Structure 1
Amino acid sequence: MRVAIAGAGAVGRSIAAELLENGHEVLLIDKSPQAVSVERVPQAEWLLADACEIATLDEAALERCQVVIAASGDDKVNLVVSLLAKTEYGVPRVVARVNHPKNEWLFNDAWGVDVAVSTPRLMSALVEEAVSIGDLVRLMRFSQGEANLVELTLPEGTAVAGTRVGEVAWPPDTTLVTIIRGPRVLTPDPEGTLEPGDELLFVTTADGEPALKALLSPPR
């Protein structure tokens, strides 16, 4: 898979290194000579240019990329790169970094963003996830379809504890993605049971979250 990353700061370089380790082809783009540190990620392609310019994206052959990641520290840049990648080059998957929470509402499919990653929101969600049992924690928002990735650690006393996965009437537009049980990551099996302490990951809509929370909470 070919991936272009706009923004070669610490975040962009870290993403590039991970993707290269997984066998992907990576191009890093940045207009700052100080950011272009080829020796830090020598396996990547590098382009010293402004990712907001059509000429740059033509040179980067963005139409050959399956994924574009807008990872700069400037939300305006990330929005422009996302919009150009989607509308001018038809990139199938565009992931954008949100630097300031107040701008998060802009990062949607109208700007070409498929997945918006808000570092402040993600960090606060991970803190909540680490200390919360029985609370629904939103980890990530997907722009397409207004779907969210949410997590809940199943508490004692809930009605679905001990119930087979296939017998649970999940809310509409809700899918159980995986079950984390101790050190194990389990693919949901219709014949498998839900156990207290299971960490459950779902993709659901904002409208479905209250019903999912009610389903998985102990009776009051």
Structure 2
Amino acid sequence: MRVVLVGAGSVGRSIARELLLNDHQVLLIDKYARESRVQSIPEATWLLADACEVTTLHEAQLEAADVVVCATGDDKVNLVVSLLAKTEFGVPRTVARVNNPKNEWMFDDGWGVDVAVSTPRLMTALVEEAVSVGDLVRLFEFQQGKATMVELTLPAHAPFVGSRVDEVHLPADCVLVGIIRDQLPIAPSPHDTLHALDELLFLATPSAERELAATLTGRRPEEISTVHSDPQA
């Protein structure tokens, strides 16, 4: 896979190293990259230029990229490059870093962003996921909000503790995709038994989230607290 990565700061370089380890072809674009940064990742191709310039993107042959990752520390740059990648070069997939959570609302398909990753939101979600028992935590948002990944830690008093997975009648548009127990992931089968404090991972639609949590905990939907810590994916 050919990946064009805009921004060679600590985040961009870390992403580049991981992609190279997985045998992907990486081109890094950074206007201010020093020689030491270039030498730190010699396996990548480098273009020292302004990614907001269309001429730079032509030089990078963006039309031949499978994915463009915008990982700079400037939200304006990440949005502009994502938009150009989609509208001018027809890149199949764009991933953009969100630095300021207040700007998240702009990181959607209107600006050419397929996947928005907000580090502050992600860290908040992981903290809240660790401490919220019985509450629904939204971890990720897919396809501009049409589907979500949510987590619920099953309380000890929940009605389905001790039940098999196939005995739990989930609402429509909800799929159990994973169980984390004793810090180990489990691929759920119909005959697996649910335990107290299991971390249950679901794919769901936003409209079904509250009913899902009510089903699992035995509480009324209006009593359910949903933590919307949702970096988009």
The residue matched to 1:117 in structure 2 has which SS? strand
Superposed counterparts of 1:54-133, under 5 Å: 54-133=54-133
Give the RMSD, CA atoms, in angstroms.
2.1
Q: Deviations over 1:126-170 (max 9, x none)?
A: 111122222211222224453222222222122232333334332
* Bigger Cα Rg: 2
Q: 1:99 to 1:193 in 2, by over 3 A?
A: same
Task: Give the stretch that moved more between structures: 28-37 or 50-59.
Answer: 28-37
TM-score normalised per structure 1? 0.89
Q: Which amino acid aligns with 2:110?
A: A
Q: Is the 8 A contact 1:94 1:114 kept in 2?
A: yes
Amino acid at match of 1:193: T
Greater mean deviation of Cα atoms: 96-105 or 22-31:
22-31
Q: More displaced, 101-110 or 24-33?
A: 24-33
Q: 1:36 to 1:204 in 2, by over 3 A?
A: farther
Cα distance in structure 2, aligned partners of 1:90 and 1:173: 32
Which stretch has the larger CA shift, 38-47 or 155-164?
155-164
Q: Distance in 2 between matches of 1:124 and 1:3?
A: 28
For these two proteins, the number of residue pairs brought into alignment is: 220
The one-letter code sitting in structure 2 at the alignment partner of 1:120 is P
Offset from partner CA, 1:85-135 (integer Å, 9 cap, x none): 222222222111111111111111111212211111111111111222222
Q: CA deviation at 1:218?
A: 4.1
- 8 Å CA contact 2:165, 2:193 repeated in 1: yes
Deviates most, 174-183 or 77-86: 174-183
Match of 1:12 in 2: 12
Q: Verify the 8 A CA contact 2:164 2:191 in the aligned structure 1.
A: yes
**Equivalent position of 1:153 in the other structure:** 153
Amino acid at match of 1:20: L
Alignment match, 1:205: 205
In 1, distance between residues paired with 2:8 and 2:66? 19
SS in 2 for 1:197: coil
Q: Does 1:174 align with 2:174?
A: yes
Unmatched 5+ stretches in structure 1: none
The structural deviation recorded for 1:188 is 2.6
2:227 equivalent in structure 1: none
Normalising by structure 2, report the TM-score.
0.85
**Are residues 1:30 and 2:21 paired?**
no
Q: Could you tell me how far apart the structure 2 residues matched to 1:117 and 1:196 are?
A: 32
* Superposed CA offset, 1:29-61 (max 9, x none): 111134871122222221111222222222222
SS in 1 for 2:11: helix
Whether the aligned pair in 1 keeps the contact of 2:8 and 2:33 (CA below 8 Å) is no
**Matched AA of 2:29:** I
Counterpart residue number, 1:139: 139
Return the structure number with greater relative CO, CA threshold 8 A, min gap 6. Answer: 2
Contact kept, 8 Å, 1:2 with 1:24, in 2: the verdict is yes
The Cα of 1:182 is off from its aligned counterpart by 1.8
Query: Aligned letter for 2:180?
Result: I
CA distance in 1, matches of 2:36, 2:6: 11
Counterpart Cα distance in 2 of 1:166 and 1:65: 43
Q: 67-76 or 29-38: which moved more?
A: 29-38
Residue 219 (structure 1) shift: 4.0
| 1:184 partner amino acid | L
